[in-house]
Amino acid sequence: MIKRNFTIVSIVFIPFSVAFAQIPGLAPQKSWDLSGYVKYMATYTAPTNADNSLDHLVHQRFNFEYRFDNGFSFNAGMRNRALMGDSLDIPGYGKFVSFDPGYWDLSRNVSESDSLIVNAQFDRLYLDWRGEEWRARAGRFRVNWAMNTVWNPNDLFNAYSIYDFDYEERAGSDALLIGKKLGFADGVEVVASPNEESELNSYSARYYGNYQGWDYQLLGGKSLTDNVIGAGFATDVSGAGVRGELTWFDPREETYKGVKQQATTVASLETDYSFGGQRSWLARAAWLYINDPIDIGNARAYLSLPLNAKTLSFTKNTAYVDVSFDATPLNRLTVSGSLYQDDSYFLGITNSYSMADNWQLLAVIQRFDGSSNSLFGEDPATLFYANIKWSF
């Protein structure tokens, strides 16, 4: 099937005019909002076994919402990126930048040369309706079924990499969602997401609720090539947040495109604790288990792999920990690390500094390494990021 395509040239938002009865001293509420940001990031990559490289990214984003009077709202989110640097020499890099995993191809390289790639993409484009008990949403949006904050086995539609700090909005799915409230904290949601290949269509239902301070959810359906059932919870124990997710994937066919399919169980448990105080210390730890992890060739392939809830790691057991605190009232420092069962490890340091109300400076160091026989150890590298952001 040929992918559905849209040509992105420009976008102009024209708010609808709405008449309000003017009340002296009271301004009418706006029916629309437009926000976004512009940021620049430099990336210096220093691999142990290859030449160093330097890349530049200018990233601009629009977020638009228009609210009608009948419970409907329209949302559009567009990201525009200009990429320059040594990565453009990688064969097929332009296709990688413009890749859109959705049913509709809403990504375009509007300019592509040996020295510059300019990409425009809609990652949010949906119509939403909310009533007293029912809600519906259709288009491209994020289906957020996560209980955890690090690894999310219950996130059947929008899994993401824990190392991708520069895309805070996360990708969306082309889907239809229908939900109904069943009580103060209880409800049910059904989501259907089509795929270019009909055998990869996904549809799932979730029931969520709260019992004596425990948030919980049960879910089931079909995710890509698998039937799935799962559960998650979140609660507080002696001041510490405790969360967990479990999902079982059962293949519908023995093989898919010649690759044998295996039943897979993915589970994650995490906790965090805020020590408070002047520095606002926060510690977090997580564990991930995959009984049948993917077989991946090298670190670069894994780090660029489009993830799903089955491919959150490449080893059976993975551990994660981070500690963050305010070095000054305007400066927050986070130190994180993850350890894989094959003796690969990741270390990260993030320093976020608030320069002004709408200006932020971010510096990040990431180290991927391990024993000589480990995935990261075969191709160790250190990455340095410098990011400045202006929001509007």
Query: Average pLDDT of 157-180?
Result: 93
Q: How far apart are CA 300 and CA 298, in angstroms?
A: 6
Q: How far apart are CA 212 and CA 232, in angstroms?
A: 15
Q: Residue 9: what are its φ and ψ, rounded to 5°?
A: -110, -55
pLDDT band at 297 (very low <50, low <70, confident <90, very high): confident
CB atoms closer than 10 angstroms to residue 365: 15
Domain ranges of the chain: 4-10+31-391
Coil, strand, or helix at residue 181?
Answer: strand
Q: What is the pLDDT of residue 5?
A: 53
176: closest CA among 137, 202, 145, 131?
137
Q: How far apart are CA 247 and CA 264, in angstroms?
A: 8
Q: How far apart are CA 186 and CA 218, in angstroms?
A: 12
Query: Average pLDDT of 191-218?
Result: 96
pLDDT band at 306 (very low <50, low <70, confident <90, very high): confident
82-108 pLDDT tens trace: 999 999 999 999 999 999 989 999 999
Whether the predicted pLDDT of 23 surpasses 70:
no
State which H helix or E strand residue 64 sits in. Answer: strand 53-67
Q: What is the pLDDT of residue 257?
A: 86
Higher-pLDDT residue of 77 and 295 is 77
pTM for the whole structure:
0.88
292: closest CA among 328, 326, 327, 249?
249
DSSP for 244-277, written as a single string? EEEEEEEESSSEETTEEP--EEEEEEEEEEEEET
Q: How many angstroms separate the most distant Cα atoms in the chain?
A: 74
Query: Average pLDDT of 308-313?
Result: 93
Dihedral sign for Cα 251, 207, 154, 143, please: positive
Pairing status of strand 187-193 against strand 259-260: unpaired
Whether the predicted pLDDT of 266 surpasses 50:
yes
Whether the predicted pLDDT of 183 surpasses 60:
yes
Percent of the chain with pLDDT over 70: 93
Coil, strand, or helix at residue 184?
Answer: coil
pLDDT band at 327 (very low <50, low <70, confident <90, very high): very high
Query: Average pLDDT of 260-268?
Result: 95
Query: Average pLDDT of 191-204?
Result: 95
Asked if 293 and 261 count as a contact pair (C-beta separation under 8 A), the reply is no
Q: How far apart are CA 104 and CA 330, in angstroms?
A: 41
Helix and strand numbers (H, E) in the chain are: 3, 23
Coil, strand, or helix at residue 57?
Answer: strand
Whether the predicted pLDDT of 4 surpasses 70:
no
Q: What is the pLDDT of residue 25?
A: 55
Asked if 158 and 176 count as a contact pair (C-beta separation under 8 A), the reply is no
Q: Across all residues in the chain, what is the average pLDDT?
A: 92
pLDDT band at 11 (very low <50, low <70, confident <90, very high): very low
CATH number 2.40.160.100 is the correct assignment for the domain at 4-10+31-391: yes
Tell me the Ramachandran region of residue 68: left when phi exceeds 0, alpha when psi lies from -120 to 50, beta otherwise.
Answer: beta
Q: How far apart are CA 99 and CA 121, in angstroms?
A: 10
111-166 pLDDT tens trace: 999 999 999 999 999 999 999 999 999 999 999 999 999 999 999 998 888 999 99
Q: What is the pLDDT of residue 301?
A: 80
Higher-pLDDT residue of 344 and 12 is 344
244: closest CA among 221, 226, 222, 217?
217
Q: Tokens 């075969």, residue? A: 378
| Strand residue runs (E) in 277-380 | 281-290, 317-328, 331-340, 344-356, 359-370
73: which strand partners? 67, 128
